[in-house]
Chains A and B, each alone.
Chain A
Amino acid sequence: MTSKTPSQTPLVTVRGLTARAGDTMLLDAVGFDLYEGRVTALVGPSGSGKTTAALALLGECGAGVRLSGRVEAGSVRVVDGDGITKEAAGGLRGRLVAYMPQHPGSALNPARRTGAVLAELARLHHPADPARALAAEALRAAQLPAGRDTERRFPHQFSGGQRQRVALAQTLVCRPRVLVLDEPSTGLDTVTRMRLAGELAALARTGLAILLLSHDHDLVRALADHVVVLRHGRVTAQGAPADALPARRRVTAVRHTPTAPDGRPPVLDVQDLSAHLHSRGRGPVLHGVGLQLPAGACVGVAGLSGSGKTTLARCVAGLHERHVGQVLLDGTPLPVLRRRSPEQKRRVQYVWQEVRSSFDERRPVAEQVARTAVRLRGLDAGEARREALDLLGRLGLDAGTVERRPGGLSGGELQRAALARAVLAAPDVLVCDEITTALDTGATAAVLAELARLRDQHGTALLWVSHDLELLAAVAHHIVVIDGGHVVETGTPEQILDAPRATLTRQLVRAMDLGTALTATDLATAPSVSGA
Chain B
Amino acid sequence: MRGYALQRLALGAVQLALLTVLVFLLTSLLPGDAADVRNNEDATPEQVAALREQLRLDRPALERFTDWAQGVLTGDLGTSLVSGGPVLDILAESAGITLVLAAVTLVVVVPLAVLLGIVSGLREGGRLDRSVTSVTLALNAVPDFVLALLLVAGLSLQLGWLPATWVGVGAADLLGQPALLVLPVGVVAARMICLLSRQVRAGMVTVLKAEYVTQARRLGVPRRTLLLRHVLPNAAVPGIQELARVGDNLVGGVLIVEAVFAIPGVATALVRAVEARDVPTVQGLALVVAAAALLFSLAADLVCHRLVPRTEVLR
* Interface set of A (CB-CB < 8 Å, partner B): 58, 60, 91-95, 98-99, 101, 103, 106-112, 120-121, 124-125, 154, 156, 167, 170-171, 174
Chain A contacts of B222 at CB under 8 A?
124
A111:B307 contact, CB within 8 angstroms: yes
User: Which residue of B214, B220, B233, B234 has the most chain A CB atoms within 10 A of its CB atom?
Assistant: B220
Chain A contacts of B221 at CB under 8 A?
94, 120-121, 124
Chain B contacts of A58 at CB under 8 A?
218
B219:A93 contact, CB within 8 angstroms: yes
Task: Give the residue name and chain of the B residue nearest to A55 (CB).
Answer: B218
Given the known inter-chain contacts A107-B212, A109-B212, A111-B233, please indicate yes or no for A121 contacting B219, CB distance below 8 A. yes
* Subset of 30 A-B contacts with CB under 8 Å: A58-B218, A93-B218, A94-B219, A94-B220, A95-B220, A98-B219, A99-B218, A101-B211, A101-B214, A101-B215, A101-B218, A103-B211, A106-B210, A106-B212, A107-B212, A109-B212, A110-B212, A110-B308, A111-B230, A111-B307, A112-B233, A120-B221, A120-B225, A121-B219, A121-B220, A124-B220, A124-B222, A154-B310, A156-B310, A174-B219
Chain B contacts of A120 at CB under 8 A?
221, 225, 229
**Which of B216, B218, B220 has a CB less than 8 Å from the CB of A109?**
B216
Chain A contacts of B309 at CB under 8 A?
110-111, 154, 156
**Which of A91, A95, A98, A111 has a CB less than 8 Å from the CB of B308?**
A111
User: What CA separation (Å) do A99 and B217 show in the bound complex?
Assistant: 10
Chain A contacts of B212 at CB under 8 A?
106-110
Distance of A407 from chain B, by nearest CB (Å): 15
Distance of B234 from chain A, by nearest CB (Å): 5
Distance of B184 from chain A, by nearest CB (Å): 37
User: What CA separation (Å) do A93 and B212 show in the bound complex?
Assistant: 15
Task: Give the residue name and chain of the A residue nearest to B217 (CB).
Answer: A93
Which A-B residue pairs are the 7 nearest by beta carbons? A94-B220, A93-B220, A107-B215, A111-B233, A94-B219, A156-B310, A109-B212
User: What CA separation (Å) do A94 and B210 show in the bound complex?
Assistant: 19
Q: Which of B177-222 contact A (CB under 8 A)?
A: 210-222
Chain A contacts of B233 at CB under 8 A?
111-112
**Which of A110, A121, A156 has a CB less than 8 Å from the CB of B234?**
A110
Task: Give the residue name and chain of the A residue nearest to B221 (CB).
Answer: A124
**Which of A60, A98, A109 has a CB less than 8 Å from the CB of B230?**
A109
User: What CA separation (Å) do A400 and B42 show in the bound complex?
Assistant: 88
User: What CA separation (Å) do A271 and B215 show in the bound complex?
Assistant: 47
Task: Give the residue name and chain of the B residue nearest to A98 (CB).
Answer: B219
* Interface set of B (CB-CB < 8 Å, partner A): 210-222, 225, 229-230, 233-234, 307-310
Chain B contacts of A121 at CB under 8 A?
219-221
Chain A contacts of B216 at CB under 8 A?
109
User: What CA separation (Å) do A462 and B213 show in the bound complex?
Assistant: 42
Chain B contacts of A60 at CB under 8 A?
218
User: What CA separation (Å) do A111 and B212 show in the bound complex?
Assistant: 10
User: Which residue of B217, B222, B309 has the most chain A CB atoms within 10 A of its CB atom?
Assistant: B309
**Which of B211, B220, B234 has a CB less than 8 Å from the CB of A107?**
B211
Distance of B229 from chain A, by nearest CB (Å): 7
User: What CA separation (Å) do A167 and B215 show in the bound complex?
Assistant: 9
User: What CA separation (Å) do A156 and B218 show in the bound complex?
Assistant: 22
Chain B contacts of A98 at CB under 8 A?
218-219
A171:B219 contact, CB within 8 angstroms: yes
B211:A106 contact, CB within 8 angstroms: yes
A112:B229 contact, CB within 8 angstroms: yes
Task: Give the residue name and chain of the B residue nearest to A107 (CB).
Answer: B215
Distance of A278 from chain B, by nearest CB (Å): 12
Distance of A94 from chain B, by nearest CB (Å): 3
Chain B contacts of A174 at CB under 8 A?
219-220
Task: Give the residue name and chain of the A residue nearest to B236 (CB).
Answer: A111
User: What CA separation (Å) do A112 and B219 show in the bound complex?
Assistant: 15
Task: Give the residue name and chain of the B residue nearest to A94 (CB).
Answer: B220
Chain A contacts of B214 at CB under 8 A?
101, 107
User: What CA separation (Å) do A171 and B217 show in the bound complex?
Assistant: 12
User: What CA separation (Å) do A221 and B307 show in the bound complex?
Assistant: 44
User: Which residue of A91, A111, A156, A171 has the most chain B CB atoms within 10 A of its CB atom?
Assistant: A111
B234:A111 contact, CB within 8 angstroms: yes
Chain A contacts of B218 at CB under 8 A?
58, 60, 93-94, 98-99, 101
User: What CA separation (Å) do A103 and B308 show in the bound complex?
Assistant: 20
Chain A contacts of B219 at CB under 8 A?
93-94, 98-99, 121, 170-171, 174
B230:A112 contact, CB within 8 angstroms: yes
Chain B contacts of A94 at CB under 8 A?
218-221
Distance of A145 from chain B, by nearest CB (Å): 21
B308:A125 contact, CB within 8 angstroms: no
Task: Give the residue name and chain of the A residue nearest to B1 (CB).
Answer: A154
Distance of B54 from chain A, by nearest CB (Å): 54
Task: Give the residue name and chain of the A residue nearest to B220 (CB).
Answer: A94
Task: Give the residue name and chain of the B residue nearest to A100 (CB).
Answer: B215
User: What CA separation (Å) do A167 and B217 show in the bound complex?
Assistant: 14
Task: Give the residue name and chain of the B residue nearest to A104 (CB).
Answer: B215
Chain A contacts of B230 at CB under 8 A?
109, 111-112
User: What CA separation (Å) do A171 and B230 show in the bound complex?
Assistant: 16
